[in-house]
């Protein structure tokens, strides 16, 4: 049992450590103070260590716990950064689940970004346009976003099933179309905030805002529970339901699944619609629980981070939750790191990319850490454009 | 039997294309000429600089123009059908049809306005330059059997390296010279992980893009902002006027009064097109991309060929990257390629993985973009966001096979192992 858990967690752990190490080198070797000492090896290593250490300490303080915030207040006040990380984690979990579910059915959904945008559009419109009682308003607004996004995702499944169009190409293109469409509707009279010319919609009504968990001082809201519930649901769907069994069968071997009487087309369309719905729900809770208004940059890079999340999480719901927390922490902490020690937040992108690269190339990590007996299934089998 | 089926399928695809042309021509007559309630004079201006003047300006009523050019489209559609029935190639008819349709659209969209026609063409070509380089890079990669969605990263990385090199040495030519090496270096990453470690190439390309965006943005924040005079103020390449040719009306300023990057592009286009279909290099490339087992059976080292071609592809993308910094503005800014790598990928797919196809698609996308910016100044009947969607929608239509089906090289994206098992 312990060995089984170790097998599953060792590779991601080593990949992460390796990525942090390389990221540290990038931070160190681009720092003028460090480079100034390059002639004396011992001094150099000392200042290299302290520079990188300080950067990662600031990252931790920005992501989890900052003792400076607790000073003079309660111990708990130091956890404010953690609450911010939670805020960023929730939509990321949902987008990550979107990509992970598609993986299990053998589809690579790069389109979470576009689906997220449609989720945000739907939730925002219901949120600012209509008056409704509190709980109902949240439900209706979220549902509107989820339906729009499910349709947007469903298009991909439909095209793949009926014409064979590769989902990667279609989703890349649909992401751009969604982004341009968002820009367009924000300039129309239906979405433009009165008195404004820049692309921003009116704020959602208070009845549509997700309620906070720890009062007004913390922004963390019930969105995180919605995301966790969705993760549990996807676990159930994949592992305990007939539909999920079909999805996995199609993902493992679509010809065999077809021979066994499973409708591959229906499974593809359903997968992409549910994937779209998940990313759309991410867009909806991000709009209703965090941003409160629709802007052209509402999606940030959630949909793209989701791909790295799903890869790091090995396509399982639990893995996605943990990976989302990790990457959200890096993102949030990175801001603090930039502000406090002047290391640009973009280093987080580098670390993120490296983690996924190392995960995807288990042979490399095994060689570096001399792990011989590590049981490791490849994250995803390679398929061509025509596959 | 199988080949007969293939021929009839090909014929059907062509016929569908001609039907689409007919529908587009009718659409053009109705929407651009018949429906508009008002019409106005469109003024086309043809002279940009010091080229010989064939015609200075041309004024035409928008409705008359739209009818006239739509009629031209109809004529060329008919010609295409005639040539098709005769069993001849009808590429020229498609070209004529496109010009007619484009002009009809322009008459409609800019009724009552001034259109700097030569400037429009020149600007369109310039916007298409990185797209063409990018799509050719993708082509060399994917024809060899390695999916390249890291074009964006290759362009961005090369733009960055070219920019800082040009700035540090205060020499734009050295920046241009180093760019292909930067592109090749990023390609090396693609080649090693795709061919040696056999990672899924879509994931890999995606990760490389994130990595390069991260690294260049990080460096831009760290160095380029603080000491931008030293790091980020590269001189730029100046346009070179080719004697006599640059004086030709309209096409002179468009093709022959450009920077070295564009002249280099002409060479690369011709070389790629000819070499792909006529040389040993091209034959090997296509064979490892279509049927690697067969290639190996005649003694070709599949992975070696792939490895080399992926590196070459990176070098081609590198020149395209140099365009962004030393070729135009001089300074690097974060994520300055702004998704051009993906439009290049779209052009490659839309152009059916052929050099001339990719070239035409990249030109169409470049012109569409230039047209959008010209029309958004003039004020258009269609929102500019929709014009920005053109390349993406066109690509989805292409891969969905509504107008003929596009097919990638058969082994594209599938890692190869000795003996053919994978």
Number of structural domains chain A divides into:
1
Q: Report which of B321, B355, B281 is spatially closest to residue B180, judged by C-alpha positions.
A: B321
- At residue A381, the pLDDT reads 52
Q: What is the predicted pLDDT for the residue at B115?
A: 78
B50 pLDDT tier (thresholds 50, 70, 90)? low
Paired tokens of B207: 């990760």
The pair phi, psi for residue B17, each rounded to 5°, is -60, -40
User: Which residue carries 């150099």 as its tokens?
Assistant: A44
- List the single range of A180-184, A334-338, B232-236 with lowest mean pLDDT: B232-236
Selected residue of A189, A353, A361 to mutate for chain B interface (largest B Cβ count, 10 A): A353
- Output phi, psi for B260, to 5 deg: -55, -30
Confidence grade of residue B128 (pLDDT, cut at 50, 70, 90): very high
Q: What is the mean pLDDT of residues A60-87?
A: 88
Rg (CA), chain B: 23
- Tell whether B416 is within 8 A of chain A (Cβ): no
Instruction: Name the average pLDDT for chain B.
Output: 86
Whether A305 contacts A77, CB under 8 Å? no
- What ipTM was predicted for this assembly? 0.90
- Degrees (nearest 5) of the Cα angle A198, A204, A210? 135
Residue A211 CB neighbour total at 10 angstroms = 11
CA B383 to chain A, closest CA, distance in angstroms equals 7
SS3 B304: helix
Cα gap A107→A165, rounded to integer Å: 12
A171 vs B245 pLDDT, higher one:
A171
pLDDT of residue B422: 46
Q: According to the model, what pLDDT value does residue B2 have?
A: 47
Query: Do B261 and B196 meet the contact criterion of CB atoms below 8 Å apart?
Result: no
Say which residue, B247 or A99, is predicted with more confidence.
A99
Chain B contacts of A172, Cβ < 8 Å? 149, 342, 345
**What pLDDT does residue B420 have?**
56
The pLDDT assigned to A374 comes to 54
Residues A125-168 have pLDDT tens digits of 999 999 999 899 999 999 999 999 999 999 999 999 888 888 88
Alpha-carbon distances, residue A168 vs A109, B257, B396 (angstroms): 7, 39, 11
Q: Which two tokens stand for residue B70?
A: 């739509």
Chain A residues touching B147 at Cβ < 8 A: 384-385
Report d(CA A294, CA A196) in Å as an integer. Answer: 13
Q: Which of B414, B409, B420 is nearest to B199 (CA)?
A: B414
User: Quick check: A244 pLDDT over 50?
Assistant: yes
Residue A320 contacts residue A231 (beta carbons within 8 Å) = yes
Cβ contact, residue pair B199, A382, below 8 Å: yes
Q: Do B218 and A350 touch (CB under 8 A)?
A: yes
Whether the per-residue pLDDT at B114 is higher than 50: the answer is yes
Q: Are B145 and B411 in contact (CB under 8 A)?
A: yes
Burial per residue of A270-309, b for 16 or more beta-carbon CB atoms within 10 angstroms, e otherwise: bbbbbbbbbbbbbbbbbbbbbbbbbbbebbebbbbbbbbb
Tell which B residues from 365 to 394 touch A, by Cβ distance under 8 Å. Answer: 383, 385-386, 388-389, 392-393
User: Three-state DSSP class for B41?
Assistant: strand
Q: Structural domain of residue A274, as residue ranges?
A: 88-324
Chain B residues whose CB is inside 8 A of the A382 CB are 198-201, 413-415, 422
User: SS3 for B279-310, per residue?
Assistant: CHHHHHHHHHHHCHHHHHHCCCCHHHHHHHHH
With tokens 């004697």, the residue in question is B243
Chain A positions in Cβ-Cβ contact with residue B207 (cut-off 8 Å) = 308, 353, 356-357, 360
Q: How many CB atoms lie within 10 A of CB B181?
A: 15
Judge whether A169 lies within some domain. Answer: yes
Instruction: Give A363's contacts in chain B (Cβ within 8 Å).
Output: 197
- pLDDT greater at residue A219 or residue B132: B132
In a domain, A100, yes or no: yes
Contact A344 B222 (CB under 8 A): yes
Per-residue model confidence as pLDDT tens digits over A245-294: 999 999 988 899 999 999 999 999 999 999 999 999 999 999 999 999 99
d(CA B270, CA B68): 35
Contact between residue B408 and residue B142 where contact means Cβ atoms under 8 Å apart: yes
pLDDT the model gives residue A379: 45
Which of A159, A174, A344 has the CB atom closest to B218's CB atom? Answer: A344
Q: Averaged over B14-37, what is the pLDDT?
A: 83
Give the residue from A103, A176, A184, A366 with the most B CB atoms within 10 Å of its CB, the best one to mutate.
A176
Residue A377 has pLDDT above 70, yes or no: no
Beta carbons of A363 and B399 less than 8 Å apart: no
Give the one of A170, A364, A382 whose C-beta lies nearest to B415's C-beta: A382
Per-residue pLDDT for B375 more than 80?
no
- pLDDT (tens digit, 9 = 90+) per residue, B75-110? 999 998 888 888 888 778 888 888 888 888 888 877
Cβ pair B383:A30 closer than 8 A:
no
Mutate which of B152, B204, B214 to disrupt the A interface (most A C-beta within 10 Å)? Answer: B214
- Tell whether the model's pLDDT for residue A380 goes beyond 70: no
Q: Rounded to the nearest 5°, which phi and psi values hold at B351?
A: -85, 15
Report, as an integer, the average pLDDT of B345-369: 89
How large a percentage of chain A has pLDDT more than 90? 65
Q: Which of A30, A348, A361 sits opposite B197 (nearest CB)?
A: A361
Q: pLDDT, tens digit, for every residue of B290-340? A: 999 999 999 999 999 999 999 999 999 999 999 999 998 888 998 899 889
Per-residue pLDDT at B403 exceeds 70: no
- Quick check: B408 and A385 CB within 8 A? yes
pLDDT at B6 over 60: no
Q: Would you tell me which residues 191-210 of chain B have a C-beta closer than 8 angstroms to some C-beta of chain A? A: 193, 197-204, 206-208, 210
Q: What is the pLDDT, as a whole number, of residue A372?
A: 61
What six digits make up the tokens of B148?
Answer: 């390249």
SS3 A382: coil
Asked whether residue B139 carries a pLDDT value surpassing 90, the answer given is yes
Rounded to whole angstroms, how far apart are CA atoms A301 and B124? 30
For the entire predicted model, the pTM comes to 0.89
Higher-confidence position of A378 and A166 = A166
Stated length of chain A: 387
- Among all residues of chain A, which has the CA nearest to that of B353? A385
Q: How many CB atoms lie within 10 A of CB A381?
A: 15
Query: Does any domain span residue A128?
Result: yes
Q: Which of the residues A164, A165, A335 would you substitute to probe the B interface, choosing the one with the greatest number of B C-beta atoms within 10 Å?
A: A165
Strands B41-45 and B114-116, sheet pairing: parallel
B300 φ/ψ sector (left φ>0, alpha ψ -120 to 50, else beta): beta
Quote the CA–CA distance of B100 and B22 in Å, as a whole number: 12
* Residue among B385, B400, B402 minimizing CB distance to A184: B385
The answer to whether B172 and B180 have CB atoms below 8 angstroms apart is: no
pLDDT band, very low/low/confident/very high, at A370 (cuts 50, 70, 90): confident
> Position of tokens 């594209």?
B412
B 341-370 residues inside an 8 A Cβ radius of A: 342, 345-346, 349
Task: For each of the domains in chain B, give its residue range(s) and CATH number, in order of start.
Answer: 2-112 (no CATH), 124-412 (1.10.3470)
Q: Tokens for B383, please give them.
A: 């929102």
Query: In sequence order, what are the residues at sequence separation of 6 or more whose Cβ sits closer than 8 angstroms to the Cβ of residue A255?
Result: none
Output the pLDDT for position B222.
86
Contact B202 A183 (CB under 8 A): no
Kindly report the number of other CB atoms within 10 A of residue A384's CB atom. Answer: 19
Report chain A's C-alpha Rg in angstroms.
22
DSSP string of B159-215?
HHHHHHHHHHHT-HHHHHHHHHHHHHHHHHHHHIIIIIS---HHHHHHHHHHHHHHH
Answer yes or no: do B199 and A360 touch at CB < 8 A. Answer: yes
* B358: nearest Cα among B137, B201, B148: B137
């Amino acid at each position: 049992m312990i060995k089984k858990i170790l097998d599953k967690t060792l590779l991601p752990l080593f990949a992460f450590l390796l990525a942090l190490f390389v990221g540290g080198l990038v931070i160190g070797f681009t720092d003028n103070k460090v480079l100034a000492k390059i002639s004396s090896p011992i001094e150099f290593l000392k200042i290299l260590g302290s520079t990188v250490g300080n950067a990662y300490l600031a990252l931790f303080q920005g992501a989890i716990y900052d003792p400076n915030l607790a000073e003079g207040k309660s111990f708990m006040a130091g956890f404010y950064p953690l609450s911010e990380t939670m805020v960023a984690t929730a939509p990321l979990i949902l987008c990550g689940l979107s990509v992970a579910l598609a993986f299990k059915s053998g589809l690579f959904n790069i389109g979470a970004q576009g689906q997220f945008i449609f989720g945000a559009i739907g939730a925002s419109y219901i949120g600012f346009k209509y008056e409704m009682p509190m709980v109902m308003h949240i439900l209706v607004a979220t549902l509107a976003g989820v339906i729009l996004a499910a349709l947007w995702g469903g298009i991909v499944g439909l095209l793949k099933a009926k014409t064979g169009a590769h989902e990667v190409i279609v989703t890349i293109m649909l992401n751009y179309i969604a982004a341009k469409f968002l820009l367009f509707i924000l300039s129309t009279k239906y979405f433009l905030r009165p008195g404004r010319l820049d692309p921003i919609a009116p704020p959602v009504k208070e009845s549509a805002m997700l309620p906070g968990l720890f009062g007004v001082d913390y922004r963390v809201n019930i969105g995180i529970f919605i995301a966790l519930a969705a993760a549990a649901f996807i676990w159930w769907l994949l592992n305990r339901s007939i539909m999920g069994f079909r999805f996995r069968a199609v993902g493992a071997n679509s010809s065999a699944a077809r021979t066994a009487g499973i409708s591959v087309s229906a499974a593809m369309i359903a997968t992409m619609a549910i994937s779209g719905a998940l990313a759309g729900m991410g867009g909806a809770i991000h709009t209703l629980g965090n941003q409160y208004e629709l802007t052209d940059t509402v999606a940030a890079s959630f949909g793209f981070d989701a791909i790295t999340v799903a890869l790091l999480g090995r396509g399982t719901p639990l893995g996605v939750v943990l990976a989302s927390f990790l990457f959200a922490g890096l993102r949030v902490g990175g801001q603090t790191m930039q502000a406090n020690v002047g290391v640009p937040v973009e280093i987080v992108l580098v670390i993120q990319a490296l983690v996924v690269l190392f995960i995807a190339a288990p042979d490399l990590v095994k060689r570096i850490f001399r792990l011989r007996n590590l049981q490791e299934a490849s994250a995803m089998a390679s398929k061509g454009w025509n596959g | 039997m199988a080949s007969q089926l293939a021929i009839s399928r090909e014929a059907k695809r062509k016929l569908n294309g001609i039907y689409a042309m007919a529908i587009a021509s009718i659409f053009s007559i109705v929407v651009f000429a018949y429906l508009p309630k008002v019409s106005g004079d469109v003024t086309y201006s043809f002279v940009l600089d010091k080229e010989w003047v064939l015609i200075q300006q041309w004024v035409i009523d928008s409705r008359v123009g739209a009818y006239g050019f739509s009629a031209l489209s109809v004529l060329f559609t008919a010609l295409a059908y005639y040539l098709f029935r005769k069993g001849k190639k009808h590429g020229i008819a498609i070209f004529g049809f496109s010009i007619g349709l484009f002009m009809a659209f322009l008459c409609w969209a800019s009724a009552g306005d001034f259109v700097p026609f030569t400037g429009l063409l020149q600007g369109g070509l310039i916007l298409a330059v990185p797209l063409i380089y990018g799509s050719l890079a993708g082509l060399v990669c994917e024809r060899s059997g390695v999916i390249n969605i890291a074009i964006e990263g290759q362009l961005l990385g090369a733009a960055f390296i070219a920019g800082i090199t040009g700035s540090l040495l205060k020499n734009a030519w050295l920046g241009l010279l180093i760019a292909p090496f930067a592109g090749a270096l990023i390609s090396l990453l693609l080649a090693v992980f795709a061919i040696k470690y056999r990672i899924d190439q879509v994931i890999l390309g995606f990760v490389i893009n994130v990595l390069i965006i991260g690294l260049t943005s990080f460096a831009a924040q760290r160095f380029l902002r603080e000491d931008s005079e030293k790091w980020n103020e590269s001189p730029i390449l100046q346009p070179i006027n080719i004697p006599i040719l640059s004086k030709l009306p309209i096409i002179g300023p468009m093709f022959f009064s450009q920077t070295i990057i564009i002249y280099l592009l002409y060479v690369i286009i011709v070389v790629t097109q000819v070499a792909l279909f006529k040389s040993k290099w091209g034959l090997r490339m296509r064979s490892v991309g279509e049927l690697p087992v067969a290639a190996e059976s005649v003694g070709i080292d599949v992975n070696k060929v792939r490895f080399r071609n992926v590196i070459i592809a990176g070098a081609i993308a590198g020149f395209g990257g140099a365009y962004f910094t030393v070729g135009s503005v001089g300074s690097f800014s974060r994520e300055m390629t702004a998704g051009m790598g993906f439009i290049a990928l779209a052009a490659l797919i839309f152009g059916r993985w052929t050099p001339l196809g990719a070239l035409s698609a990249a030109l169409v996308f470049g012109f569409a973009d230039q047209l959008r910016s010209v029309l958004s100044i003039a004020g258009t009947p269609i929102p500019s966001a929709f014009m920005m969607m053109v390349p993406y929608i066109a690509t989805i239509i292409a891969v969905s096979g509504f107008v003929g089906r596009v097919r990638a090289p058969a082994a594209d994206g599938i890692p190869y192992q000795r003996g053919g098992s994978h």
